[in-house]
Chains A and B, each alone.
Chain A
């Protein structure tokens, strides 16, 4: 994961069916408000799709429709070619890793137990779960020896977020959904964890959908960026193109990073874009 080794990502359309596909999806809440309308989007296997937009744009709703935490009012979502309504909801969710901003770690479980939740649900043998928990902690940069037996309240925000990621990856799901995964972290930690995640994703090649309102994060992590506004999909860009787009909203977003660049040096250098300092040494590991 060095800057000179750019990942061959953006163009992974393998010709086969998309990993996730939204087909004219609408989501309406009980009071009649439409949260998502005419939403159509294909997410290819192995790519990282960022859903970018401001609060209330419908990003999180779109994400939750994928693992059936919400059900569409109209249209359908297909996961690996099958409509989610045809999946057993529980089987579907165990097939998909899920990371949320607050991590949702179980406060009464140790780190090891937290990471082992899905394997235990899937009735893996205990020895294998233990082995897997150690591997995963190492993978997200936490020393298994000192972390396995800790409880969530004994961890820093960044550590908790790493454990949340490890937990989502535990049963090796081909798809990973992340809802503002780094949103609750301080800027430095956030940058670190983000960086690590990028490295990880280069190795793991999961199909990842990330929800964020942070343009820098979108550009750094995404292979493509879907821009949502007021419940509608405005545009889909390859991450690099996003910065060059002359679409007014995209331009407005890019303006925003440039303006904030000194305070939020979160972008990794790509072929273009503002110069940013590299992450200092990793904490907590």
Chain B
């Protein structure tokens, strides 16, 4: 699949994401200017406020963006929508250069000019509006320019919390290890940043005091400022209109979410297509949300209506209950607790169990006659293990595994991105990995899954979770999702995963074929 081909086939979607990106950036910049410029003026006027204000803005700047998005998730009004979270976080980031440049611009006004202005009987606000702001304007614009370019860049991360925008392609591409998809997000984002840089740079040069002579016309800076902000508003509004024109109204829209790996997107897509086929609801897809925690938060705050969770994950990571082995008991516990604590309905399993799979190379398994993890414990002291960072931290992850089987390794485990685990194993960089039992590679490559003979891993049945409110408003959704119950086997899931990850096939295509072959969709 070539990059040009991808653009050609997904042009409209990419355009939508670009509009969304512009909208996010535009609103962010309006807020950042509305807050940052007055704060900058305050800093210039009251030097003792400079430390606290600039200090706070500096601190905000140092919070890693994904963490900042995470902190904002549980907030009441803000957390209710991904774009609100994104705009709030982005605004915080955009403040620093705007505050700093506003203060610097005002402070750089020649003291003689300010003294003359006071001496002529200008009030403080007249000095600000007629003298300081016009003279500081190009410096302030330079700050806005920097902030805008940052915002366009950081806004790509906002897709992690479901704010949409071009970052969605980047996350999707990363999860699918598909460069074309990454570039479908990265190229438009880079072009957008470049365009913003050029346009704001032109405006900035025009507004530089020394340049005025070229025009012989008196420049009324409030006019120029109003013009610039009107331009941004207009752009944001147009982007908003462009977006809303393509979506239905909120009332008959259902939002399907997913975590950020291909199986999740596939399941989300299967759910979406089934709902679209069986109801009249419009389905909005918010895939590639950055992990379990974010999906759960999104569900609780209503940013999404449903996604597919795994019972073991729900039990240990969300409910923080002890590990339990009986699949039915786990399902019942999760269902009951979700209902009571979160008002979320856990629907019947889709059919497969995506547990952790301890995987070694097939050659090793044959040579050493290994079938179970217990058998492998004898050899692990000579091996290096490779795990995903989530596995290292989970209650049903690394620590318990090592304890249960008495595993020792030749060194500390390598922490690798999920997409890279298999590559590391096949290239002998590591000798044992913890992967997922439904991974497509397992069926396509010479690999052996060691049996969890001590039943350490809890069951991870794939269950759709839906908000009670959604089911009350649209009862037909339950029927649509329940039609999928028990329909996806572990082998079927492995195969679909391989089609997406190994063969780079389109997720919606794979989902459609699956539904057709089962007389669904």
Contacts and interface: CB of A to CB of B under 8 A. Distances in A.
B115 interface: yes
B112 A104 contact: yes
A167 B131 CA distance: 15
Contacts of A177: 119
A106 B123 contact: no
Contacts of B121: 90-95, 118, 121
Contact of A100 (B112, B130, B209): B112
Given A102-B110, A108-B219, A121 B126 contact: yes
A102 B112 contact: yes
Contact of B119 (A69, A108, A110): A69
Contacts of B209: 107-108
A92 B120 CA distance: 9
B295 to A, nearest CB: 54
Interface in A83-121: 90-95, 98, 100-110, 113, 117-118, 121
A104 B218 contact: no
A121 B120 contact: yes
**Central interface residue in B110, B120, B216, B219, by most chain A CB within 10 Å:** B120
A98 B219 CA distance: 26
Contacts of A90: 121-123
A106 B131 contact: yes
Q: How large is the interface on A (under 10, 10 to 19, 20 to 34, 35 or more residues)?
A: 20 to 34
Interface stretch (A36-44, A146-154, A235-243, A277-285): A146-154
Contacts of A26: none
Nearest to B114: A104
Contacts of B213: 151, 153-154
Contacts of A153: 210, 213
B370 interface: no
A98 B113 contact: no
A93 B120 contact: yes
B3 interface: no
A48 interface: no
B135 interface: yes
B66 to A, nearest CB: 43
Contacts of A167: 120
Interface residues of B, number: 26
A92 B115 CA distance: 15
B377 interface: no
Contacts of A109: 218
A281 B131 CA distance: 36
A103 B218 contact: no
Most buried by B among A106, A109, A117: A106
Nearest to A149: B216
Contacts of A207: none
A67 interface: yes
A188 B212 CA distance: 31
A153 B213 CA distance: 9
A94 B118 contact: no
Interface in A168-182: 168, 177
Interface in B101-116: 110, 112-116
Interface of A: 67, 69, 90-95, 98, 100-110, 113, 117-118, 121, 149, 151, 153-154, 164, 167-168, 177
Given A90-B123, A104-B110, 4 more contacts: A93-B119, A103-B116, A107-B210, A121-B126
